[in-house]
Chains A and B, each alone.
Chain A
Amino acid sequence: MIDLVIIGAGPAGLGAAISAAENGLEVYILDEFVKPGGRLLGQLHEEPDGKWVNGIAEAEKLYKRAIQLGVNIRCGVSVYDLMKLDQGWCVYTTDNVMECKCLLLATGASETPIPIPGWTLPGVMSIGAAQVMGNVHRVKPGKKGIIIGVNVLSAAIARELQLCGVHIESILLPQPNLLSGDAANPEKMMESLLRLSHLAPSALIRFGGKWVSPKLGARLYPKNGFKMWDIPIQLRKSALEILGEKQVEGVRVAEITANGEVVSGTEKVVSVDFVCIAGGLAPLSELAAVAGCSFRFVPELGGHVPLHNEYMQTNLTGLYVAGNITGVESAKVARAQGTAAGLSIARELNALADHADEKIEAAIMEVMETRKNALIQFQPGIEEARKKLYSEFYETSEKASMI
């Protein structure tokens, strides 16, 4: 029986594979995509100190280290079911059936859609899809596009598309309706934008981030938006409908008040050949659900997450989680979580030699440090939400052991 199977070859999965293999475990990684690296493959940004972070190079480094340690990495393989065995787990893949002592789910996150009239037209895609087209496949999603949804992800990817030579007309809000919720509210979006302000190349926005209250910011927001990297971010404009006969030809937009109400008489059509929808990210936990994990709904972490502790254990023996399946955070945090998970698994399999506990505690400290130093906070209150989640884990496991 294999020691450890990891599902997902992103920063968390590769990080875990490295720390587990360094302690002598036999490790397999499976990934649905054709290349290892997960969401690292899409990343390209400039840090405040002027250094460029190239996710493809980061992924390559992790991949090489894992291969050096004898980790087996299989890409283009999907896992469609999991089953608990007396001792370990059975993993059903599109290639074969594997049995392992421990299983780590590092499946990452998926994008949340925002439905808008016309969103099923060819040429409409999620913001992540545009990122993969540009940065991974080197294909332009179009010549001129609009991004619907103002958030951390859409601003970062707009910049990447610009570097690919694609013109981004603007980033604006979705139409206020039953499903768009906060995403259509200028005040709430101002709040989210201010969490990004320290990354902005414009000193004006950086400075603004320090003193502008979301309320004031939304009210005083210039009608034509302000620009980040020359891309207009328009918190007071909303996309009402995507237009086109056979494919995207334009977007009908209108001005909105600070509360998100459409101002009548301000509608106009902007012509574009593609549209990206940026609805944010949610942990991809379907395999944890079929495995039978307990769940908690934690909005700060992006939605439903499998109940787990800081050692990355779930409430099922031998089943671990790491990375964005545990909550949406940066790739650096995911990698640190992976390292902690790999060590915890090595300890469970009695492979962790001297100072086992110290090593694991150090890895957990590293996760917290990385979180504290993260450039981008996807949601406020992540640390508190995690503390609460871990204490619920111990409460429920105590209850279970008393029965």
Chain B
Amino acid sequence: MGDNETVICRCEEITLKEIKETIERYQCSAREVKLRTRAGMGPCGGRTCRCMIDRLVEQLGGPSISNEISLSYRPPVRPVSFGVLGGDVK
């Protein structure tokens, strides 16, 4: 198995190759990588891959990691059922 076939975003099964090609082709930010490839948009909300996406963008000449969090966190930050979201309490 080549390096390029390594999965980066496990939820959406996005490989290193797909992310690299996207950054190289569009010279884009981490957020744009996410919107174009769906990396970081799976059920875990990017908990595992966000730092790798940031790092790849930085390594390939994109904006470097700054004080700003590039892939914003949005609630719910943990997987919850519709019941819980709808106010169903135990």
Contacts and interface: CB of A to CB of B under 8 A. Distances in A.
Contact of B1 (A79, A96, A117, A289): A117
A119 B6 contact: yes
A110 B55 contact: no
Interface string B28-61: 0000000000000000000111011001100110
Contact of B2 (A95, A113, A115, A117): A117
B51 A287 contact: no
18 contacts: A80-B77, A81-B76, A97-B89, A113-B51, A117-B3, A120-B7, A120-B10, A178-B55, A178-B60, A179-B56, A241-B1, A286-B73, A287-B77, A289-B72, A295-B67, A297-B66, A304-B67, A304-B69
A267 B73 CA distance: 42
Contact of A113 (B48, B84, B89): B48
Interface string B3-18: 1011110100000100
A181 B52 CA distance: 11
A308 B38 CA distance: 33
A295 B84 CA distance: 29
Given A115-B7, A178-B59, A295 B68 contact: yes
Given A117-B3, A119-B6, A94 B78 contact: yes
Contact of A95 (B1, B3, B89): B89
A92 B16 contact: no
A209 B75 CA distance: 46
A289 B69 contact: yes
Contact of B74 (A175, A290, A297): A290
A117 B5 contact: yes
Interface string A247-289: 0000000000000000000000000000000000010001101
Contacts of A92: 75-76
Contact of A115 (B8, B73, B78): B8
A118 interface: yes
A162 interface: no
Contacts of B48: 113
Interface string A168-192: 0000000101110100000000000
Contacts of B55: 178-179, 181
Interface residues of B, number: 36
A70 interface: no
A92 B77 CA distance: 11
B51 A282 contact: yes
A179 B52 contact: yes
Interface of A: 32, 78-82, 92, 94-97, 110, 112-113, 115-120, 175, 177-179, 181, 241, 282, 286-287, 289-290, 294-297, 303-304
A115 B16 contact: yes
A78 B8 contact: no
A32 B3 CA distance: 35
Nearest to B83: A94
Given A94-B84, A113-B52, A295-B67, A289 B73 contact: yes
Contact of B6 (A80, A95, A117, A282): A117
Nearest to B73: A289
B67 A296 contact: yes
Contacts of A95: 89-90
Contacts of B60: 178
A286 B2 contact: no
A290 B75 contact: yes
Contacts of B7: 115, 119-120
Nearest first, the 8 A-B pairs at minimum CB distance are A81-B75, A80-B76, A289-B73, A78-B78, A80-B78, A117-B1, A286-B77, A96-B89
